[in-house]
Structure 1
Amino acid sequence: MSDLVIRASGIVREFVARRDTVHALGPIDLEVERGQFVAIVGPSGCGKSTLLRIVAGLAAPSAGELEIDRVEPSTPLCSMVFQDYGIFPWKTVLANVRLPLDIAGVSRREADVVARDWLHRAGVAGFEAAYPATLSGGMRQRVALARAFVANPEILLMDEPFAALDAQLRLVLQQELLRVWEANRRTILFVTHSIDEALLLADRVVVMSSRPGRILDDFEVPFPRPRTRDARSAPEFGALEEHIWRLLKGEVEQREHADDVA
């Protein structure tokens, strides 16, 4: 696969619900290069999260083939970051972040050093002994990010990780994610409903149709890195945002019309 880390060929996912077969996703053909930051946008229910779960090995495709090229068998293949944080309320911040290293059999002393380093990078230093219930939503998401990066996965899968945060905090964590990623350059698949967020963060934006989700467009984001919020002022930013919005608007209207006819 050379520089390709993910190759999805004809991926389809179907579900059986009340004896009916629901065609949720595909066929999808997608290639992702190693170290790329790829954002996936699309209407609600189009299968974005399902695609991430298939890449993570948490769901099997009903048809098609998924190839993932590993180069570091000693490290985890994938880590996931969810909208609802996914951290354990009965563990301290340090224990949550250290967990992937504990599972990997890393010594406690070494694991603590690495976990504290990532807490510092994520801006949560000083909260090692705190429990998640005592933290704000933004702090919990920082802990989730630190835990995802601490295991040094080859692929980071992020499912709307900032959707539940207020606008100001979302901007802060977007910049934090870019800062950490630019120092780490792991492959990222990032699902979002925000066109603005996709264009600010990603190297590529993949636009999906309404269910069953297929790829409508796939393009490179032309803004140089390191990227800041100033990119939003570029004329190209507005033009790309409008292009994606029109694609998604057409999909939503088409779906609503189909539902009305049915």
Structure 2
Amino acid sequence: MSRSLSLGYSPCPNDTFIFYALVHGRVSLPGIAVEERLEDVETLNQLARAGLLHLTKISYHALGHLREGYALLRAGGALGRGCGPLVVARSALDMGHLQGKTIAIPGRLTTANLLLQLHGSGYDNLVIMPFDRIMAAVAEGRVDAGVIIHESRFTYADHGLTAIEDLGAWWERETGLPIPLGGILARRDLGSDLIRQVDSSVRRSLEYAYAHPQEPRDYIRRHAQELADKVIDSHIGLYVNDFSLDLGKEGEEAVRELLSRAEHRGLIPPCSLPLFA
């Protein structure tokens, strides 16, 4: 008799590309049936805080609040260079001018918000909304600026917006490390043996997608916000990389540095448990 595990991830092309083979039976996880749940990143963050998902994509900001109940996987995440959140506005501004101004963010527990808070102080007049509505809110003047993520990075200029800060580039200048955006978590109560099996299956799911890049295309397009193949390919190319196969030493260092800085600023609680199962 198989056991069912819930797996939450976003509808963005990088996640649907990575998890296609796992949720469509192209990669086996013996004795386990994986049930997908596609939600925006902040909804996933909140579901994980309630412990409602066995496995989930998560913002690294949210991980800082979830380490007691969840362990990090080494495969499936989003880290890299040149792929961080952008702060956009209707015209060129200095970041200092945004202190006290309304800033749209894609969720309080997103890494995008954590990077904004680590960048400086005074960014506390926040308006939380789904990531795909932020550009319109900025363009229509309902907020002064917005922090955009995912495929919005490729299309903000089409909305007449200007990028005033690349938070990923700022992080890279500050630390010399890749930017940790999102990782995959497993509930600690699954046990270390099963968590390691899941980790291996996620890695093999991505390897399958690399080997059969056209097979997941319909699944990806069905869920993507931007349907143009060029945008989808750019998105996957930017957010899926060697760190998605395995964090490696550099990726792990980047995650630990982000959490350490957040702890130092009092933005996340301390935790003595190991990061991995």
TM-score, normalization by structure 2? 0.26
- Structure with more helix by fraction: 2
TM-score by length of 1: 0.27
Mark the structure with the bigger radius of gyration. 1
Which structure features the higher share of strand residues?
1
Q: Which protein, 1 or 2, shows the higher relative CO under an 8 Å CA cutoff with sep ≥ 6?
A: 2
